[in-house]
Each structure stands twice: as structure tokens, then as C-alpha cells.
């Protein structure tokens, strides 16, 4: 295992990130790789009223607009990364049990290969992942299948 780049001490930290992200109030400096995972785990585990695969794209776009990040063909929201991350988050929840504390789920993920921000390049070439098509729509991996 690699050293975790992020670490949450308790579930309240993860809940705060999820709630502040959903309300588009999370400070931009806190919207880190770790916070993206925390928000995904929170939405999947604690918000039965939300369908993350359907609703998270709009939530991210709204959040980006609130913090001054444009959603364009070269920055801001990215559909393939979002959907891939949700697939991985759901896989971690399934493997860990639905009642695992959120901070423990996050910390286990951070200690895995998914804790690195370059994990996507095991599955997608940079050319494909950074394409306009992958930013706008789901594009399946072209290097190896996505599995948790």
C-alpha cells in the first residue's frame, strides 16, 4: 500500500464536504481529489433522494459556476471522470459494506491506487481521456477495463 495523500479523522469531516459541495459553498481550495471522493461516497451512502450518476453532473457544474470555474470543452465538468469515479466509489462501498463509516471508506480508497490522481491513465489513454468527447459524454476505457 502507498502512503495516503488525504486522510479524514471522522465521518463529520466527510459529511461537511458533501453538504458544502451540494450547496455550492465548499471553498474552491477544498475541492481536492480527496474531496471529490468524499462527495461521491456521501451522495451514494447518505442521500437516497439523489441519483449520483444522473444528478452529480449538474451538481458539479453548479458548484464550478459558484466558484468561478467555467464548464467548457477544456476545463470544468468532465463526464467520463465523474462516471468512472462513481463506478469505483460504488465498488468500494460494495466491498466494504454499506454501513462502513464514510471516513473509513475514504481512507481505504486513499490508500489504494485510486488515491492517486493519475489512476485513470491505467484505463484511458491521455489522448482519449482529455478529448472533448470524453469530457462531454461517457467514453469506455481504451486501455483496460475498469474494475475495483
What is the model's pLDDT at position 46? Answer: 94
Is the predicted pLDDT of residue 4 greater than 60, yes or no? no
Q: What is the mean pLDDT of the chain?
A: 93
**Residue the block writes with cell 469506455:** 140
Is the predicted pLDDT of residue 57 greater than 80, yes or no? yes
Q: Hey, how many other C-beta atoms are within 10 angstroms of the C-beta on 31?
A: 19
Do 14 and 106 meet the contact criterion of CB atoms below 8 Å apart? yes
- Residue 5 — very low, low, confident or very high, per pLDDT cuts 50/70/90? low
Residue % of the chain over a pLDDT of 70: 96
- pLDDT tens profile 82-109: 999 999 999 999 998 778 899 999 999 9
Is the predicted pLDDT of residue 39 greater than 60, yes or no? yes
Residue 64 is placed in which grid cell? 464550478
Helix H or strand E encompassing 132: helix 132-136
Full-model pTM: 0.92
d(CA 86, CA 88): 5
Amino acid at each position: 500500500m502507498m502512503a495516503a495523500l488525504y486522510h479524514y479523522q471522522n465521518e463529520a469531516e466527510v459529511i461537511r464536504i458533501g453538504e458544502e459541495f451540494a450547496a455550492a459553498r465548499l471553498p474552491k481550495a477544498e475541492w481536492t481529489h480527496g474531496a471529490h471522493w468524499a462527495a461521491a461516497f456521501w451522495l451514494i451512502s447518505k442521500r437516497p433522494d439523489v441519483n449520483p450518476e444522473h444528478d452529480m453532473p449538474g451538481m458539479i457544474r453548479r458548484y464550478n459556476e459558484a466558484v468561478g470555474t467555467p464548464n467548457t470543452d477544456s476545463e470544468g465538468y468532465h463526464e467520463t471522470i465523474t462516471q468512472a469515479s462513481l463506478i469505483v466509489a460504488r465498488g468500494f462501498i460494495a466491498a466494504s459494506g454499506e454501513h462502513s463509516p464514510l471516513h473509513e471508506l475514504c481512507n481505504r480508497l486513499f490508500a489504494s491506487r485510486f488515491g492517486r490522481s493519475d489512476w485513470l491513465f491505467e484505463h484511458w489513454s491521455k489522448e482519449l481521456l482529455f478529448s472533448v468527447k470524453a469530457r462531454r459524454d461517457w467514453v469506455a476505457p481504451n486501455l483496460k477495463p475498469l474494475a475495483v
